[in-house]
Amino acid sequence: MNVAMNPAPAAARRSPIHDALEARGAEWRDVNGTTFAVRLRDEPAGDDIPAAALCDLSGLNQLGVKGPDAANWLSTAGVDVPADLYESRPLPSGGRVVRFGAHEFFLEDGIAGSKASELSEQLGFGAEQVYRVEHQDATFLLTGPRSLDVMAQTCGIDFREANGGRAIFTRVAGVSCALLPETIADQQAFRLWLDPSYAPYLWEELVVIVESLGGHVVGAGRLFPDLPA
Amino acid sequence: MDRRLPPREGEWIDRSQPVEFRFEGQSLAGFAGDVLSSALWAHDVRLQGRSFKYHRPRGLYSLAGHDANVIVEDGRRTNMRGDLLPITDGLDVYSVNTSGGLQRDRWRIMERFDRFLPVGFYYKAFHTPRWLFPHYENQMRQVAGLGRVHPGNAAVETPKDYAFCDLLVVGAGPAGLAGAIAAAEQGLKVLLVDEQPHPGGSLNWQWSGNPAAQEQFGGMLEQVRAHDNIELRCGTQAAGAYNDYWIALVDDRRLTKLRAKAMLVATGCFEQPAVFQNNDLPGVMLASAAQRLLQLYAVKPFDRAVVVAANSDGYRAALDLHGAGVEIAAIADLRHDGEPTGLAQNAADAGIEILAGCAIAEAVPSGGKARIQAAAVCPLEKDGSLRTGSLRRIECDGIAMSVGWSPNVGLAYQAGGRFRYAEHVAQLVPSSLPDGLFVSGRANGRFELHDQIADGRRAGLCAAAHLGRFDGNLPDSPQHQASPPSHPYPIFSNNGKKNFVDLDEDLHLADFKNAHQEGYDNIELVKRFTTVGMGPSQGKLSNSNAIRILARLNGASINETGTTTSRPFYQPVRISHLAGRRFHPQRRTPLDGWHRQHGAEMMHAGAWMRPEFYTTSGSTRDECILAEAKNVREHVGLIDVGTLGKILVCGPDAARFLEHIYTGRFEKQKVGRLRYGVACDETGVIIEDGVIARLAEDRFYVSATSSGAAVFYREMQRWALIFGMKVTLINATGHLAAMNLAGPKSREVLAGLTDADLSPDAFPYVGVKEATVAGARAIVMRVGFVGELGYEIHVPASQGWHVWTSLMEAGRPHNIRPFGVEAQRLLRLEKGHLIVGQDTDALTHPFEADVAWAIGKDKPFFIGSRSLDIVKQQSLDRKLVGLSFPAHRSGPLPQECCLIIHEGEIVGRITSIAPASTLGHPIAMAFLRPDLANVGAKVTIRTTDGRTADAEVAAMPFYDPDGARQK
């Protein structure tokens, strides 16, 4: 039996690090049905990106699909399907789709855009040879001039040679993560996706390292000033 | 007395930053940039430490980080070397290994007993009677040793870093600088490291009086600093080389794990001491140490000195000292032909007496041996022995030794390089190097400055060619043309006296002769018997001479004698650096914060944190657990089971796949129903259990144990490949929150929050539905793990908090309470449900665990079926049974794993026990020998304190055997 896939009200969804953000005086805002900490109490003034900036974007809608017909199903739904393993492509209206396996894809909406959530409703619990993969990943965004130094203290991969737009599966501070190098406001950035049960642990570790390098935890509003209301 | 000189070009001290520190309780001053030894010497504090065994006075010796007898501690940090430790304001240090202070060390009496302490004395003296050995050991540990460890100190957290480069250049001296520039010019990303706080290596102290060399140095340094492809890290030691150029870099702050594509070792040489009587006393030092003291720290090493030389470097040192106002009483040149270069004339022009073919027979100590007052110079016979009848006493307060060098190539050895002894330089040079490893400069036997630079450039280009960035002609390596920079045997016997070979371990020449007489004629055996090279400096100043001594005793060549093995680390590394920042990933359910806010006592469950129980003011732990359990029995409880494994098995072959994985049947399982499943390995041992819910014809939802889920999922993936079935596996464990609403009121609590029909007919026991709960899409299962009407609700992790709090709110009128892991364990024990991993072990099969009913009849195959077919034919050795304890009893209760004893033999063990239960008496589950397992039989269990407890075999389940309450 399939039930209606209307997600629970946005207020019902919580980031896996909600408590940690709340303790930092998070100012919450609902955006496109999801909730973000847009600003934190101790954020430095101004709009500049600090030496290293760590931001929680776990409120973004996600969808995983897996199965022999997954690529075809996505393509039919208007998604530019990545041809190569670990390659990512933008979703129409924001967000991205990443090929995690031969028959497995991961979609995440951007701050703007709702393709992943639309497809999630459309898929329900699955279709013929297309199965829903429950993705409640924590999404952390790390950026700033010293973001490479943060990665160097937590992960044994040389990210200077990493290609933007290709996901890397690795361990960060001992936690299995999918990691996507990207650029935000001309700054090197890393998007980390991880099992939400590890999120509080990894967040705490990253915060310690980021702050030791002169960086800060920031709200989504600093990295995405045009965050829609 | 202040020995500080006026400012010198290139000095490392910052005279604008005076520093006050304390040494052995005495307040002193120095400058930023000073190390402890230089700052002490500037105050003419020559006694800076005591030796390991004899507690002899020791002072500054190498000033290169290898002075293993000048070791201090500050109450928090220990075993810090005086020639490495920067002084800072407030530094307050004491010498290690003394009793009563450095000056009045009571243990200095040990030297009087030296005749009773020959090499290996402790192997021979203290093994009988055995009962006295602890006493001997204790005494020896007090007399000999290094600093004290303070285990109470707080842990220091240091970063652990990763880094990458094309070429690691170790050593920023002339060869290293040239190599780094040459490689970087070809496009290589170069990391250039040097253990010293400033780059330049010997250019800083050995060539400081040479304007052309300094100009060349300045030019290279400018190029290095300006080049985008070069990262320069000073104060960084390459501590060890591991496979594939994985190099441990250690600086003051952290350990960096470097992955390089190639490595250039340009680490130079360690200057080696001469061996003569009292060559260890303060005032006797390597010529390079005197030059370092002079050039880097602007401290006058001596007032009047004798230089013992066997190479051009000794003459340079003598001239440097002379230029700084040190009176050079003589140069004792070990070579009968003297110095062949113009340096000899320079020395003569400076009025320095040159004594060719002479050695120093003895450093003559002053009272207390904390200084020297003269050198006894002695002509050498042609065979190198001392002509002791012609001793000449020369008054001096210092002896500088410049008799040879030993290449600093431990890192190259560790990376797979091999070396041979080359007569033309009288040192080891590379004989073979693996791909990607390069050696240059003095470490490669090139001593002239222009040769070092040329050789460094050659090595840099070779590295570029190796990495495919250079295809031009590679220059030849310049060959050393001058006389050998090292004397082949700078060791002068003075029978029975203190001719020290290894200052770390207080080994003198006679110790080697004695060892050899006892049959230790192999270098590795000599090392272990004498402990040469096993002290803190790891033989950097002693191995070379030890090999020479053994070679001569054996009548063999250096190459025939061989060398000892070089192992990491280059210098001692702080434990805090090795530990680094500790990463211990921990999993938390989406409800973790709620549990903590509501008084949960959290416990580790594998990688997870789970609420053990919820504290209640005024109640003990056991009372809290029992109260939670009773509330489930009488009202309704809610437990977070988000740690359970949650695996979706999809595809046309899903049912058939599960029939292979589990012992049971699933092909005919109805959609909307769940079944209990047991999974075994190929040997028939139970590895997992859980419920298998059929959500659709081609879609199953499987639960697994919290600690076993990840491994089980990987096993499923492996078998899916082996079986080649059309099945898609999805591990949703961390992505779904899960909670079990259990108790007679659970239906009423849930009813108002879901769109599912909860009536018993529509949603019976072992039913499963996909529904909404509190607005969240959910999988809801009717399970009975705790033996009550219950619903296991799985929802997206991000909505777990909302659903949980909604249930708690809805349950308030029904006395809902959260319950923790311990209450759940009790309730399931009452119900007789086993926990895989607790009530089973690595040998338990379904027949022993009394779950053979879960094996599908006439199944052609499942994993472990063949083994179970065999096991089934055999009689059982043990059986899982229930045990009941009297409600009113005295004496201790057994704990899990306590043994069941029958007629003096072990016949079983407790697997689970509940000291209190809702039944009013303790109960347990246990493995028991089958012939003793009849219901009502009495058993005796040995408790942890050695007493016994009696119990009775009971039928399981203990509670609600008909299962009426969960339906």
What fold is seen in the domain B1-151?
Ubiquitin-like (UB roll) (3.10.20)
- Judged by a CB distance cut-off of 8 A, whether residue A222 touches chain B is no
* Residues of chain B with C-beta less than 8 angstroms from the C-beta of A134: 648, 730, 732, 735-736, 796
Structure tokens given for A53? 């900036």
User: What's the rounded Cα separation, in Å, for the pair A98 and A89?
Assistant: 7
Region of residue B243 (left: phi > 0; alpha: psi -120 to 50; beta: else):
beta
Q: At what angle do helices B543-554 and B509-517 cross, to 10 degrees?
A: 40
Reduced to 3 states (helix: H, G, I; strand: E, B; else coil), residue B95 is: strand
pLDDT of residue B679: 98
* Residues of chain A with C-beta less than 8 angstroms from the C-beta of B168: none
Opening angle at CA B774, ends B773 and B779, nearest 5: 20
The pLDDT tens digits for B210-239 are 899 999 999 999 999 999 999 999 999 999
- Judged by a CB distance cut-off of 8 A, whether residue A16 touches chain B is yes
Report which residue type is found at B14.
D
The pLDDT tens digits for B88-138 are 999 999 999 999 999 999 999 988 888 888 888 877 788 788 888 888 888
Q: At what angle do helices B621-634 and B821-830 cross, to 10 degrees?
A: 60
Confidence label for A229 from pLDDT (cuts 50, 70 and 90): low
- Domain map (residue ranges) of chain B: 1-151, 160-270+406-466, 273-403, 500-575
User: What's the rounded Cα separation, in Å, for the pair B637 and B706?
Assistant: 20
A105-132: average pLDDT: 90
Structure tokens given for B539? 């033989």
Q: How many CB pairs under 8 A join A and B?
A: 144
- Whether residue A83 is predicted with pLDDT greater than 60 in this model: the reply is yes
Q: What are residue B514's DSSP bridge partners?
A: none
* CATH class of segment(s) B273-403: alpha beta
* Residues of chain A with C-beta less than 8 angstroms from the C-beta of B648: 131, 134
What CATH homologous superfamily does A16-38+48-58+137-219 map to?
Answer: Probable tRNA modification gtpase trme; domain 1 (3.30.1360.120)
Length in residues, chain A = 229
DSSP state of B561: H
- Judged by a CB distance cut-off of 8 A, whether residue A23 touches chain B is no
CB atoms within 10 A of CB B849: 23
Domains B160-270+406-466 and B500-575 share a fold: no
Nearest to B735 by CA among A204, A171, A58, A66: A58
* CATH class of segment(s) B500-575: mainly alpha
Reduced to 3 states (helix: H, G, I; strand: E, B; else coil), residue B866 is: helix
pLDDT of residue A228: 63
Q: Which residue of A has its CA nearest to B260?
A: A158
Reduced to 3 states (helix: H, G, I; strand: E, B; else coil), residue B419 is: strand
DSSP string, B737-802: EEEEEESTTHHHHHHTTBSS--STTTS-TTBEEEEEETTEEEEEEE--TTSSSEEEEEEEGGGHHH
* Residues of chain B with C-beta less than 8 angstroms from the C-beta of A11: 802
Share of chain B above pLDDT 70, in %: 99
- Which residue is listed with tokens 């939802």? B701
User: What's the rounded Cα separation, in Å, for the pair B942 and B162?
Assistant: 53
Reduced to 3 states (helix: H, G, I; strand: E, B; else coil), residue B58 is: strand
User: What's the rounded Cα separation, in Å, for the pair B401 and B290?
Assistant: 9
CB atoms within 10 A of CB B187: 14
Q: Please report, to the nearest 10 degrees, the dihedral formed by the alpha carbons of residues B678, B684, B686, B692 taken in order.
A: -20
Give the DSSP H/E element, type plus range, for residue B652.
none
User: What's the rounded Cα separation, in Å, for the pair B307 and B297?
Assistant: 20
Query: Are the C-beta atoms of B283 and B372 separated by less than 8 Å?
Result: yes
What fold is seen in the domain B160-270+406-466?
FAD/NAD(P)-binding domain (3.50.50)
Quick check: B585 and A136 CB within 8 A?
no
Report whether the peptide linkage leading into residue B129 is cis, meaning its omega lies within 30 degrees of zero: yes
Query: Are the C-beta atoms of B768 and B674 separated by less than 8 Å?
Result: yes
Nearest to A63 by CA among A6, A5, A134, A167: A134
The pLDDT tens digits for B582-633 are 899 999 999 999 999 999 999 999 999 999 999 999 999 999 999 999 999 9
Query: Are the C-beta atoms of A155 and A203 separated by less than 8 Å?
Result: no
- Which residue is listed with tokens 């220059």? B475
Burial (0-12, 13-18, 19+ Cβ within 10 Å), B361: buried
pLDDT of residue B297: 98
Query: Are the C-beta atoms of B20 and B31 separated by less than 8 Å?
Result: no
- Which residue is listed with tokens 């004290």? B148
- Judged by a CB distance cut-off of 8 A, whether residue A103 touches chain B is yes
Burial (0-12, 13-18, 19+ Cβ within 10 Å), B916: middle
Within 117-156 of A, beta carbons closer than 8 Å to B belong to 125-126, 129, 131, 133-137, 152-156
Quote ipTM for the complex.
0.94
Structure tokens given for B547? 């090999």
Structure tokens given for B272? 């080696």
Distance from CA of B756 to the nearest CA of A (A): 10
- Domain map (residue ranges) of chain A: 16-38+48-58+137-219, 62-133
Instruction: Give residue B942's Cα distance to chain centre.
Output: 41
- How many angstroms separate the most distant Cα atoms in chain B? 117
Cα–Cα separations (whole angstroms), residue B919 to B348, B826, B941, B956, B959: 105, 11, 21, 13, 8
Cα–Cα separations (whole angstroms), residue B569 to B259, B390, B572: 17, 45, 6
Report whether the peptide linkage leading into residue B572 is cis, meaning its omega lies within 30 degrees of zero: no
Nearest to B510 by CA among B528, B540, B530, B527: B530
Nearest to B262 by CA among B167, B163, B164, B165: B167
Quick check: B695 and A5 CB within 8 A?
no
Q: Which of B158, B798, B805, B807 to mutate to test the interface with A (most CBs of A within 10 A)?
A: B798
Region of residue B499 (left: phi > 0; alpha: psi -120 to 50; beta: else):
beta
A2-30: average pLDDT: 75
Quick check: A197 and B587 CB within 8 A?
yes
Burial (0-12, 13-18, 19+ Cβ within 10 Å), B896: middle
User: What's the rounded Cα separation, in Å, for the pair B192 and B171?
Assistant: 7
- Whether residue A1 is predicted with pLDDT greater than 70 in this model: the reply is no
Confidence label for A10 from pLDDT (cuts 50, 70 and 90): very low
Query: Are the C-beta atoms of B480 and B445 separated by less than 8 Å?
Result: yes
Structure tokens given for B936? 């009502």
Q: Which residue of B has its CA nearest to A203?
A: B585
Q: Which of B594, B728, B757, B779 to mutate to test the interface with A (most CBs of A within 10 A)?
A: B728
Nearest to B549 by CA among B273, B194, B944: B273
DSSP string, chain A: -----PPPPGGG---TTHHHHHHTT-EEEEETTEEEEEE-TTPPSSS---SSEEEE-TTS-EEEEESTTHHHHHHHTT-----STTBEEEPTTS-EEEEEETTEEEEE--SS--HHHHHHHHHTTEETTEEEE----EEEEEESTTHHHHHHHH--S-GGGPPTTB-EEEEETTEEEEEEEEEETTEEEEEEEE-GGGHHHHHHHHHHHHHHTT-EE--HHHH-TT---
* Residues of chain A with C-beta less than 8 angstroms from the C-beta of B592: 200
- Judged by a CB distance cut-off of 8 A, whether residue B717 touches chain A is no
pLDDT of residue A173: 96
Residues 6+ apart with CB under 8 A from A197: A16, B587, B588, B589, B590, B608, B642, B733, B734, B797
Cα–Cα separations (whole angstroms), residue A45 to A41, A147, A188: 10, 20, 21
Distance from CA of B129 to the nearest CA of A (A): 52
User: What's the rounded Cα separation, in Å, for the pair A154 and A194?
Assistant: 14
Measured in degrees and rounded to the nearest 5, phi and psi for residue B898 equal -65, 150
Ranges in chain B, pLDDT < 70: 1, 144, 495-496
Cα–Cα separations (whole angstroms), residue B850 to B832, B859, B881: 10, 19, 8
pLDDT of residue B864: 97
Residues 6+ apart with CB under 8 A from B313: B206, B271, B287, B288, B402, B485
pLDDT of residue B495: 66
Strands B398-402 and B304-309: parallel
Q: Which residue of A has its CA nearest to B672?
A: A1
Q: Give CATH for domain A62-133.
A: 3.30.70.1400
DSSP string, B664-722: S--TTPPTTBEEEEEEE-TTS-EEEEEEEEEEETTEEEEEE-TTTHHHHHHHHHHHHHH
Share of chain A above pLDDT 70, in %: 93
- Which residue is listed with tokens 């065994």? B53
- Judged by a CB distance cut-off of 8 A, whether residue A209 touches chain B is yes
Query: Are the C-beta atoms of B871 and B684 separated by less than 8 Å?
Result: yes
The pLDDT tens digits for B925-941 are 999 999 999 999 999 99
- Judged by a CB distance cut-off of 8 A, whether residue B594 touches chain A is no
- How many angstroms separate the most distant Cα atoms in chain A? 52
